[in-house]
Amino acid sequence: MWLIKFWTNVLAGLAIIATTFSLAVRVWWVFALIEHLRVQYSLVLVIALFVSVFTSRQRFNIWNVLCSIALLINLIFIFPLFIPPNGISAQASNAPEQTIRVIHATLDSKKPDVSKAIKYLNKQETDILFLLEVTPQSLVQLRKGLTNYRLIAAQPKYISHGIAWFVPRKETKPIQVNRFGFISLPSDNNRPLLKATISYDGRKIVLLCFHTISPQYAEAVAYQRIELNALADWSQRTLKNGNQDLIVIGDFNSTPWYSPFRQLISKSGLINSQRGFGIQTTWNSALPPLFRIPIDHCLHSKSLTTIKRFVGSDIGSDHLPLFVELRLD
């Protein structure tokens, strides 16, 4: 038992230190990265408190207090995901014509074979299918293998910047594609983002498939802040430009508690579809669920309500697919 307590305390000590540093994300770029692991810190701290309470003679000691404070800090950032944005859980509508279903899936540009993703996606029912990390080779497979879908637009690339948009061949809803194109946020970004405008039951909906740089080094962390800030500004302009709904979905390479992501939500006025549905981790699919983090997101205007949201199964990528169903209010 002493060995278990020793290693538990070591991990808890590291979690306390990491939690403290995560509050100073602008001091050093590494502190920004450790902010993503709040769920894992919380898990370690809960275990440490459990072990300490049942093995120590004195339950109220400085160690337990430190663990409790660190745990509380992390839970403050995590807990809002379990609370719906309006405080009331959305109920699924019995009128499917009033909802729009969107699937986002990030493929793996390093893996040429996407047959596993094709098999999974052909079994799904959706109105919009966005794919990221699409290469010229995988696009050929996708166009041939996705028999239930037809391609609307694509810009495949051999690096992770490729993108594609599919819709069902058999139309079940009165959705019309008005226009689409590729934009960059910010304007000097070489990563194409697919912007589309559709009409649905008299409503105008703007869609954006979003993808940020992976924050693996100092310059990338700084540039990701610029990308998220550019998205916030673009979202504000889009919503001010007429009576239209907005859906932004994709690989944000950010957790919901990551400070730049929280700033994006605050500045843009968009709703995080994850609110009320829990953590729903999407990356890395090779790890057990408790070791993954949620970095794929769907944000939407306040004129929409998320009634269904779940993460799909393994598609042969390091990301898991994201399914969101939104109600037009």
Residues 145 and 13 in one domain: no
Give residue 17's domain range. Answer: 2-82
Same domain, 101 and 78: no
Between the two ends of the chain, the Cα-to-Cα distance in Å is 56
Q: Could you tell me if residue 88 is inside a domain?
A: no
Q: pLDDT tens digits for 268-312?
A: 999 999 999 999 999 999 999 999 999 999 999 999 999 999 999
Flag whether pLDDT at 129 surpasses 80.
yes
The SS3 call for residue 263 is: helix
Q: 86 falls in which pLDDT band (50, 70, 90)?
A: confident
Among residues 308, 224, 321, 317, which one has the least CA distance to residue 282? 321
**Of 24, 56, 82, which residue is a domain's last?**
82
Specify whether 78 is located in the same domain as 101: no
pTM of the model: 0.93
Classify residue 89: in a domain, yes or no: no
- Is the distance from CB of 257 to CB of 75 less than 8 angstroms? no
**For residues 125-136, average pLDDT:** 97
For residue 200, CA distances in Å to 168, 172, 180, 312 come to 15, 12, 15, 26
d(Cα 103, Cα 96) in Å, to the nearest integer?
16
Residue 149 covered by a domain: yes
> What is the number of structural domains in the chain?
2
pLDDT tens per residue across span 137-192: 999 999 999 999 999 999 999 988 999 999 999 888 889 999 999 999 999 999 99
Same domain, 7 and 136: no
Same domain, 218 and 304: yes
Residue 277 lies in a domain: yes
